Structure 1
Amino acid sequence: MICNPHKISFVFGLACFIASVTNAQTPADNPALKIYRATPTKINDLVNTKLDVRFDYAKHYLYGKEWVTLKPHFYPTDSLTLDAKGMDISNISVVKNGKNIPLKYVYDSLQLKISLDKKYTSAENYTLYLSYTAKPDELKVKGSAAINDAKGLYFINSNGADKNKPIQIWTQGETESSSAWFPTIDKPDQKTLQEISMTVPSKYVTLSNGKLISQKPAGDGLRTDTWKMDKPNAPYLFMMAVGDFKIYKDKWKDKEVNYYLEPAYAPFAKQIFGFTPELIGFYSQKLGLDFPWNKYSQIVVRDYVSGAMENTTATLHGEYVQKTAREMLDGNYSQGESTIAHELFHQWFGDYVTTESWSNLTVNESFADFSETLWAEHRYGKDEGGAHINENRLAYLNSRDARTKNLVRFHYADKEDMFDVVTYQKGGCILNMLRNYLGEDAFFAGLNLYLRQNALGNGEAQQLRLALEKVSGKDLNWFFNQWYYGAGHPELKIDYKWDEASKTQFVYLNQTQSGQTFTLPMAIDFYVTGKKERRQVWMKDKADTLSFKLASKPNLVNVDGDKVLLAQKTDNKTNEEFVFQYFNAPLYLDRWEAMNALMGKQGDAGARKVILAALKDKYYGLRTLAIRNVNLNSDEVKQAALPELTNITRNDPNNTVKAAAIIALGKLKNPADLTLFRNALNSQSYAVQGAALNALAVQNPDDALKLAKGLEKDNKGTLTQSIVMLYTTKGSEAELPFVTKAFNEAGPQAKFNVMQGYISMLGKINDTQQVNTRVDAFKKLAIQYKQYGVDQYVMGMLGELKAQKQNQAKNADAALKTQLDAQADYIAKAIDEIKAAK
Structure 2
Amino acid sequence: MKKMLIAEALLMAACIVPAVAQQKPADDPKLKIYRETVTKINDLVHTKLDVRFDYKKRYLYGKEWITLKPHFYPTDSLRLDAKGMDIKNISVVKNGKNVPLKFTYDSLSLAIKLDKVYGNNETYIVYLDYTAKPDELKAQGSAAISDAKGLYFINPDGTEKDKPTQIWTQGETESSSAWFPTIDKPNQKTTQEISMTVPAKYVTLSNGRLAAQKTNTDGTRTDTWKMELPHSPYLFMMAVGDFKIYKDKWRDKEVNYYLEPKYAPYAKEIFGFTPETMEFFSKKLGVDYPWNKYAQIVVRDYVSGAMENTSATLHGEYVQGTPRELMDAGYDGGRSTIVHELFHQWFGDYVTAESWSNLTVNESFADFSETMWAEYKYGKDEGGAHIYDDLQSYLRSADAKNKNLVRFHYHDKEDVFDVVTYQKGGTILNYLRNYLGEDAFYKGLSIYLKTNAFKNGEAHQLRLALEEASGRDLNWFFNEWYFNAGHPVLDITYKWDEGTKTQTVYVNQTQTGDAFILPIAVDVYAGGKKERHQVWLRNKADTLTFKVASKPDLVNVDGDKVVPTKKTDKKTLEEFAFQYANAPLYVDRREAIAAAIPAQGDKNAQKIIIAALKDKYYGLRIKAIDAANMANDDVRNAAQPILMDIARNDKDNNVKAAAITVLGKLKASGMIKIFRDGVQSQSYAVQGASLNALAQLEPAEALKVAKSLENDSKGALATAIMGTYAIAGGDAEWPYVYGKYKEMGIQAQFDSAQEFADLAGRVKNPAYAQQGIEVLKNMGVKYKKYGIAPFVITTITGIKTKRTELKDDASVKAADDAIKAINDAK
SS class of match (1:341): helix
SS class of match (1:564): coil
Evaluate the alpha carbon distance shift between residue 29 and residue 831 of structure 1 in structure 2; reply closer, same or farther with a 3 A threshold: farther
1:112 to 110, 113, 117: 110
SS class of match (1:565): coil
Is 1:132 the equivalent of 2:120? no
Distance in 2 (CA, whole Å) between partners of 1:67 and 1:725 is: 58
1:749 CA displacement: 2.1
Distance in 2 (CA, whole Å) between partners of 1:790 and 1:93 is: 50
2:242 to 230, 244, 247: 244
Counterpart code for 2:466: L
Which deviations, in whole Å up to 9, do the C-alpha atoms of 1:409-437 show, x marking residues without a partner?
Answer: 11111111111111110000000000000
Residue in structure 2 matched with residue 518 of structure 1 by the alignment? 516
Alignment of 1:166-177 (within 5 A): 166-177=164-175
Distance in 2 (CA, whole Å) between partners of 1:206 and 1:712 is: 36
Contact kept, 8 Å, 1:63 with 1:133, in 2: the verdict is yes
Distance in 1 (CA, whole Å) between partners of 2:727 and 2:356 is: 46
1:802 CA displacement: 4.0
Distance in 2 (CA, whole Å) between partners of 1:187 and 1:783 is: 33
1:792 CA displacement: 4.2
Residue in structure 2 matched with residue 831 of structure 1 by the alignment? 819
1:367 to 359, 365, 368: 365
Contact kept, 8 Å, 2:32 with 2:409, in 1: the verdict is yes
Counterpart code for 1:455: A
Evaluate the alpha carbon distance shift between residue 355 and residue 96 of structure 1 in structure 2; reply closer, same or farther with a 3 A threshold: same
Residue in structure 1 matched with residue 302 of structure 2 by the alignment? 304
Distance in 2 (CA, whole Å) between partners of 1:666 and 1:94 is: 74
Distance in 2 (CA, whole Å) between partners of 1:17 and 1:578 is: 30
Alignment of 1:692-711 (within 5 A): 692-711=690-709
Which deviations, in whole Å up to 9, do the C-alpha atoms of 1:55-103 show, x marking residues without a partner?
Answer: 1111111111111111111222211111111111111111111111111
Q: Which moved more, 1:381-390 or 1:36-45?
A: 36-45
Residue in structure 2 matched with residue 597 of structure 1 by the alignment? 595
Counterpart code for 2:3: C
Distance in 1 (CA, whole Å) between partners of 2:788 and 2:44 is: 40
1:253 CA displacement: 0.8
SS class of match (2:86): strand
Evaluate the alpha carbon distance shift between residue 223 and residue 18 of structure 1 in structure 2; reply closer, same or farther with a 3 A threshold: farther
Contact kept, 8 Å, 1:396 with 1:422, in 2: the verdict is yes
Contact kept, 8 Å, 2:644 with 2:659, in 1: the verdict is yes
2:535 to 537, 540, 543: 537
Contact kept, 8 Å, 2:491 with 2:508, in 1: the verdict is yes
Which deviations, in whole Å up to 9, do the C-alpha atoms of 1:310-345 show, x marking residues without a partner?
Answer: 000000111111111111111211111111110000
2:421 to 420, 423, 440: 423
1:525 CA displacement: 0.4
Distance in 2 (CA, whole Å) between partners of 1:100 and 1:17 is: 58
Which deviations, in whole Å up to 9, do the C-alpha atoms of 1:369-426 show, x marking residues without a partner?
Answer: 0000000000011011001111111111111111111111111111111111111100
Which deviations, in whole Å up to 9, do the C-alpha atoms of 1:615-651 show, x marking residues without a partner?
Answer: 1111111111111111111112111111111111111
Is 1:38 the equivalent of 2:36? yes
1:674 to 666, 672, 683: 672
**5+ long unaligned stretches in structure 1:** none
SS class of match (1:740): helix
Which deviations, in whole Å up to 9, do the C-alpha atoms of 1:702-755 show, x marking residues without a partner?
Answer: 332222111110011111111222333443232222122112222222222223
Counterpart code for 1:313: S
Evaluate the alpha carbon distance shift between residue 176 and residue 563 of structure 1 in structure 2; reply closer, same or farther with a 3 A threshold: same
Counterpart code for 2:812: A
Contact kept, 8 Å, 2:4 with 2:306, in 1: the verdict is no
SS class of match (2:328): coil
2:340 to 328, 339, 342: 342
Distance in 2 (CA, whole Å) between partners of 1:94 and 1:760 is: 65
TM-score (norm 2): 0.97
1:19 CA displacement: 7.0
1:12 CA displacement: 5.4
Evaluate the alpha carbon distance shift between residue 562 and residue 19 of structure 1 in structure 2; reply closer, same or farther with a 3 A threshold: farther
**5+ long unaligned stretches in structure 2:** none
| CA RMSD, Structure 1 to Structure 2 (Å) | 1.7
Q: Which moved more, 1:255-264 or 1:789-798?
A: 789-798
Which deviations, in whole Å up to 9, do the C-alpha atoms of 1:634-682 show, x marking residues without a partner?
Answer: 1121111111111111110000000000000001011111221011100
Distance in 1 (CA, whole Å) between partners of 2:533 and 2:332 is: 34
1:464 to 452, 462, 466: 462
Which deviations, in whole Å up to 9, do the C-alpha atoms of 1:477-514 show, x marking residues without a partner?
Answer: 11111111111111101111111111111010001111
Distance in 2 (CA, whole Å) between partners of 1:771 and 1:335 is: 33
SS class of match (1:513): coil
Q: Which moved more, 1:635-644 or 1:222-231?
A: 635-644
Distance in 2 (CA, whole Å) between partners of 1:285 and 1:349 is: 15
SS class of match (2:666): coil
Residue in structure 1 matched with residue 380 of structure 2 by the alignment? 382
Distance in 1 (CA, whole Å) between partners of 2:219 and 2:13 is: 42
Residue in structure 1 matched with residue 651 of structure 2 by the alignment? 653
Counterpart code for 1:480: F
Residue in structure 2 matched with residue 203 of structure 1 by the alignment? 201
SS class of match (1:546): strand
Alignment of 1:86-97 (within 5 A): 86-97=84-95
Evaluate the alpha carbon distance shift between residue 72 and residue 786 of structure 1 in structure 2; reply closer, same or farther with a 3 A threshold: farther
TM-score (norm 1): 0.96
Contact kept, 8 Å, 1:525 with 1:558, in 2: the verdict is yes
Distance in 2 (CA, whole Å) between partners of 1:780 and 1:750 is: 15
Evaluate the alpha carbon distance shift between residue 335 and residue 19 of structure 1 in structure 2; reply closer, same or farther with a 3 A threshold: farther
1:64 to 55, 62, 65: 62
1:255 to 249, 253, 256: 253
1:803 CA displacement: 5.0
Q: Which moved more, 1:768-777 or 1:628-637?
A: 768-777
Contact kept, 8 Å, 1:5 with 1:16, in 2: the verdict is no
Counterpart code for 1:319: E
Which deviations, in whole Å up to 9, do the C-alpha atoms of 1:257-314 show, x marking residues without a partner?
Answer: 1111111111111111111111001001110000011111111111111111000000
SS class of match (2:48): strand
Alignment of 1:63-82 (within 5 A): 63-82=61-80
SS class of match (1:118): strand
Distance in 2 (CA, whole Å) between partners of 1:726 and 1:612 is: 31
Q: Which moved more, 1:117-126 or 1:724-733?
A: 724-733
Distance in 1 (CA, whole Å) between partners of 2:795 and 2:726 is: 15
Which deviations, in whole Å up to 9, do the C-alpha atoms of 1:231-273 show, x marking residues without a partner?
Answer: 0111110001111111111111111111111111111111111
Counterpart code for 1:2: K
Residue in structure 2 matched with residue 2 of structure 1 by the alignment? 2
Q: Which moved more, 1:668-677 or 1:778-787?
A: 778-787
Distance in 2 (CA, whole Å) between partners of 1:73 and 1:30 is: 34
Evaluate the alpha carbon distance shift between residue 571 and residue 716 of structure 1 in structure 2; reply closer, same or farther with a 3 A threshold: same
Counterpart code for 1:41: T
Residue in structure 2 matched with residue 752 of structure 1 by the alignment? 750
Contact kept, 8 Å, 1:15 with 1:146, in 2: the verdict is no
Residue in structure 1 matched with residue 501 of structure 2 by the alignment? 503
1:781 CA displacement: 3.0
SS class of match (2:584): coil
Percent pairwise identity: 65
Counterpart code for 1:832: K
Is 1:152 the equivalent of 2:150? yes
Counterpart code for 1:176: E
1:442 CA displacement: 0.7
1:439 to 437, 440, 450: 437
Distance in 2 (CA, whole Å) between partners of 1:84 and 1:16 is: 36
1:51 CA displacement: 0.6
Contact kept, 8 Å, 1:18 with 1:790, in 2: the verdict is yes
SS class of match (2:519): strand
